Structure 1
Amino acid sequence: MEFNGKVVLISGATGGMGREIAKLLAKEGCRLALLARNEDKLKALVDELNSEKADCISIRCDVKNKNEIKDAVESTNKKFGRIDIAILTAGVLIPNPVEDFKSSIIKDTMDINFMANIYFLEYLLPIMKKQKNGIIAAVSTLPDKRGVPGWGAYGASKAALSLFLESLRAEVLQKYGIK
């Protein structure tokens, strides 16, 4: 796939995975909208990439806030005129043994790992459907398929995301050329 000139939105851009993906895609010539909660880390990453002739913008976005997600997607689309690829890496893992679980930890985990992705999809899909193309990549892991001690909430959030995305793919994405 040719990446040069593609517009890529990356959530969780200052985390390990998001940061490395941003660096790789910048080298490929992508135009990047980098989203993260920590403004200082975000500015440092954008400054680093732009110093290497990358074309990227930073958007402060707390993925627990639906309005901030909406604003980030709309700002990206307005700035670049389209969104070709969305890479959703924002996530959280708070060890929480099922035997002694705390519902507040489960709620926070679901809000970040599942609901944030749902909010992104709510705002990305109309754009990509209109374009009749796009790629959406949401990060999941092995615990979405089987339980791992201490990771009950994390596994449940990733399983919910994986199953939702499978349904979305079967119902909608192929019809509009979205992967």
Structure 2
Amino acid sequence: MTEMNYRTALVTGASSGLGRGLALWFGKKGVKVYAAARRRPQLEALAREARASGANIEPVELDVSEAETTLERIRELDDACGGLDLVVANAGVGGMTDGRNFPWEHAKKVIDVNVTGAVATLSAVLPRMVERNRGHLVGVSSLASCRGLPQNAAYSASKAFLNTFLESLRVDLHGTQVRVTCIKPGFVKTEMTANIQHMMPFLLEAEPAVEFMARAIVRGEDEYGFPWPMDRAVGLAKFVPNVLFDAVASKVVL
């Protein structure tokens, strides 16, 4: 599948960072993009920028943590455009959830957005895609999903859930023309990482990160982690024995 095969796309979390970049990238390729997020002013600014470059981006005010509203709104968009070809569940939140002083309210927010919101986004028009026998579902996970990182129980677990959810969908849809892609970025300069104080190895600027992601989507990759040195490192981390992983990770201060 190439970008010219997408007529329409929905990108959540599009008011800033990677979501904003992806909306612009596909919009500039001639795709009609519905850019969804909670912050209307930022979406309006994105739409103005898109128009200046000839791209067609329509702002959609949406809070994916409100699952029922998300399902309804995405189905309305699907009706209005004659069928969404690409759905990118990019909206996400991070933040510390230290097991020694566990912040339930923040953990719930992470789960509501990263898990429930992502599933609502990806499943809203899945039956219709299957019926049409075309479409592409993309979930933006994280390399932080590889293991339970210190002080990140909710975030790491939420992204691990998304990995497995997407893999199961991919297996179920094998033999159809509906594709499933899981994107796993490492550290990228965005609003989400702006307040992180600890070291962020292989930190990428947003623009090249968006390019990596968009091209992986267009290629129809099953899974794509980047940057590659970090992807390889976390891949190896899966095989570190728990006794060693726990001893080392517990000493890390984030």
Aligned counterpart, 1:58? 59
Secondary structure in structure 2 of the residue aligned to 1:160: helix
Does structure 1 conserve the Cα–Cα contact (< 8 Å) formed by 2:23 and 2:57? no
1:92 aligns with 2:96: no
Does structure 1 conserve the Cα–Cα contact (< 8 Å) formed by 2:89 and 2:122? no
Q: TM-score, normalised by structure 1?
A: 0.92
Relative to structure 1, the CA distance from residue 50 to residue 71 in structure 2 (aligned partners, 3 Å threshold; closer, same or farther) is farther
Q: Distance in 1 between matches of 2:164 and 2:117?
A: 15
Q: Distance in 2 between matches of 1:8 and 1:154?
A: 26
Does structure 2 conserve the Cα–Cα contact (< 8 Å) formed by 1:83 and 1:127? no
Secondary structure in structure 1 of the residue aligned to 2:124: helix
Deviations 1:53-93 (A, max 9, x none): 21221111001112331233123212210111111110000
Aligned counterpart, 2:108? 107
Q: CA deviation at 1:132?
A: 0.3
| Match runs of 1:98-177 below 5 Å | 98-171=99-172, 173-177=173-177
Aligned counterpart, 1:16? 17
Q: Distance in 2 between matches of 1:122 and 1:80?
A: 17
Which protein is bigger by CA-based radius of gyration?
2
Give 1:117's aligned amino acid. Answer: A
Q: Distance in 2 between matches of 1:68 and 1:50?
A: 28
- Give the count of matched residue pairs: 178
Give 2:68's aligned amino acid. Answer: N
Q: CA deviation at 1:2?
A: 2.8
Q: Distance in 1 between matches of 2:53 and 2:79?
A: 24
Does structure 1 conserve the Cα–Cα contact (< 8 Å) formed by 2:86 and 2:135? yes
Does structure 2 conserve the Cα–Cα contact (< 8 Å) formed by 1:89 and 1:138? yes
Q: Distance in 2 between matches of 1:78 and 1:45?
A: 24
Secondary structure in structure 1 of the residue aligned to 2:42: helix
Identity of aligned residues (%): 30
Aligned counterpart, 1:79? 80
Q: CA deviation at 1:33?
A: 0.7
Q: CA deviation at 1:40?
A: 0.6
Give 1:32's aligned amino acid. Answer: V
Aligned counterpart, 2:251? none
Q: Distance in 1 between matches of 2:118 and 2:128?
A: 16
Aligned counterpart, 2:70? 69
Q: Distance in 2 between matches of 1:92 and 1:154?
A: 8
Q: CA deviation at 1:8?
A: 0.8
Secondary structure in structure 1 of the residue aligned to 2:59: strand
Q: Of Structure 1 and Structure 2, which has the larger fraction of its residues in helix?
A: 1
Gapped regions of structure 1 (runs ≥ 5): none
Secondary structure in structure 2 of the residue aligned to 1:94: coil
Q: CA deviation at 1:18?
A: 0.4
Deviations 1:104-158 (A, max 9, x none): 2221111100111111233120121121011111011112111222211100111
Root mean square deviation, CA, Å: 1.5
Secondary structure in structure 2 of the residue aligned to 1:46: helix
